[in-house]
Structure 1
Amino acid sequence: MPTLLLIDGFRFFFYSNENNEPIHVHVTKGNADGKIWLEPTIEIAYMHEFNNKEIKDIMWHVQKNFEQFKTRWNDYFSK
């Protein structure tokens, strides 16, 4: 379960057995969790227990780190 980013209490990561799905990231903070598709477009798959401000912050971090997240996914699963 490679961690991609730890910031503002959020942990962005992906599971090492999900390479059969389109590129995406998971996010957790406390008991809250979510999943964001990065391809074909950035889109929320689900968000559980995050408030609206946290969702806005999460999406900002995803957009800011989009290229890094994609690169890390591709590097990890190309091994």
Structure 2
Amino acid sequence: MPTVLRKYGFRFHFYSGDRYEPPHIHVDGNGGEAKVWLTEVRLAEAGGFSQRDLARILAVVEEHRQQMLEAWNDYFA
């Protein structure tokens, strides 16, 4: 389960079994979990996060999208 980034108390990572899904990042922290698509940054699913946390998560993914896509492609190449 490679961790790509830690920011604002959130851990951005993916699972080795995610290979056959479109690129995405999992996020956990502050008692919540989420999955965010990377091709077009949008929330796939989430639970336990406040709206403020979700907005911050999406902003971080947008900011670091290229890094996350590169990590995904390097890992699954």
Place the TM-score, normalised by the shorter chain, in its bin: over 0.9
Equivalent pairs counted in the alignment come to: 77
Identity %: 38
Cα RMSD after superposing both structures: 0.8
Q: Which runs of 5+ in 2 are unaligned?
A: none
Please list, as runs of the form range in 1=range in 2, the aligned pairs for 1:1-79 lying within 5 A after superposition.
1-39=1-39, 41-78=40-77
State the TM-score, normalizing by the size of structure 1: 0.93
Q: Which runs of 5+ in 1 are unaligned?
A: none
State the alpha-carbon separation in 2 of the partners of residues 74 and 44 from structure 1. 20
Give secondary structure in 2 for the equivalent of 1:57.
helix
Give every structure 1 segment of 4 or more consecutive aligned residues whose post-TM-superposition deviation is greater than 4 Å.
none
Give secondary structure in 2 for the equivalent of 1:22.
coil
